[in-house]
Amino acid sequence: MKSITERENDMNKDCVRVGIIGCGGIANGKHMPSLAKLPNVRMVAFCDIIEERALRAREKYGSPEDLVCTDYRELLADRTIDVVHVLTPNRWHSSITVDALEAGKHVMCEKPMAINTEEAQKMLDAARRTGMKLTIGYQSRQRADARYLKQEVEAGTLGEIYYAKATALRRRAVPTWGVFLDEYAQGGGPLIDIGTHALDLTLWTMNNYKPKYCVGTTYHKLNKQTNQGNDWGNWDPEKFTVEDSAFGFIVMEDGATINLEASWALNTLDTREAVTSLCGTLGGADMMDGLRFNGIRNNQKFMFTPQLSGKGAAFYSAEKHPSAEYLEARQWIDAVINDTQPCVTPEQAIVVTKILEGIYISASTGDIYRF
């Protein structure tokens, strides 16, 4: 029988060693708690330009001997690290990801892939050149409603999907921390922040990644107001340099159309975030009030809502219904261990970036943007 030390050594051999670059809100709210739940993962390096944040992350999720640094290149120099999570502001997604891939690390980069198509293409090229895995943090695909909808679409339940609506609307929920309001650091506001989730979800469930052209508008109508009523406290109007809302109309090569709407601040009661509606020749589905399907059966209209959780059962527990964030981390690490394709591929994610950039360009020029 193996000793405890021998068993621990065996575990360490099979353990995926992860380095965290960016120890801010998304790292603490999503990535590190999810990785910490995986038995075959160990976070061994923590990097942030604010050293105190990296130290706090190590204290909570690492060991005293683990690396803490303020320069991500120091982390990448550690050849024992298998995987890097890039959790920085959007502007630095591309450069850090490319460097990490070139250093022989598999990379999970938080959404969006990059601030524009050119930067995203550098990431895709680096992944192909190095043979390392690259995925983007679109965890909404792991929600129970999204997975169920995807299965129904693949089964042909909706027929040919020719119209869709991607929605990420907040009434007054502007993020007032970090660099969310800084156009240089983030590349945009609600469109690139939460609209990206709704668009990814829509393209994925439709399995349609060939845009033809788009028209877009962005607005700065409410960001200079001082009477705000914001969920996260008042924002500074002078620092709010990104749009407060954005809307796009996308036409795909096969003729399908997608309406995309995103806002942090909008005078509306119709608030939903990271949801999609699909209309096909045989039926439709939406996430407007839970997941709902509609169609015609026996010459009559019908609508049904699948029961997706076991909350009504006595045996219900969080372990039986894990979060989308945990499932995202688990499938990503499984892809690394088993050398399989992660749920979100860079080829898919770059199309999201292309469309978002097209909407921004159309809004600035007032013209149709052709892909």
317-324: average pLDDT: 67
Question: Which helix (H) or strand (E) covers residue 260, if one does?
Answer: strand 257-263
The answer to whether 343 touches 141, Cβ cutoff 8 Å, is yes
Q: What is the mean pLDDT of the chain?
A: 93
Over range 84-96, report the average pLDDT. 98
The residues with which 326 forms a beta bridge, in sequence order, are none
- Domain residue ranges of the chain, discontinuous segments joined by +: 4-138, 141-308+341-370
Pick the CATH number of 141-308+341-370 from 3.30.360.10, 1.10.287.90, 3.30.70.2740, 3.30.465.10: 3.30.360.10
Classify residue 139 by its DSSP letter: G
**Two domains, one topology: 4-138 and 141-308+341-370:** no
| pLDDT value, residue 201 | 98
14-67 per-position pLDDT tens digit: 799 999 999 999 999 999 999 999 999 999 999 999 999 999 999 999 999 999
Token representation of residue 337: 């261990």
Q: What pLDDT shows up at residue 288?
A: 87
pTM: 0.93
Sign of CA dihedral 55, 178, 276, 162: negative
**Predicted confidence band of residue 289 (pLDDT cuts 50, 70, 90):** confident
Tokens of 75: 């982390």
Q: What is the pLDDT of residue 107?
A: 98
pLDDT tens-digit series, residues 207-230? 999 999 999 999 999 999 999 999
Strands, E, within 37-148: which ranges?
41-47, 67-69, 83-86, 106-110, 134-137
Q: What is the pLDDT of residue 320?
A: 57
Does the structure show a pLDDT above 90 at 3?
no
What proportion of the chain, given as a percentage, has pLDDT over 70? 93
Architecture of domain 4-138: 3-Layer(aba) Sandwich (3.40)
What pLDDT, in 10s, does the model give residues 232-250?
A: 999 999 999 999 999 999 9
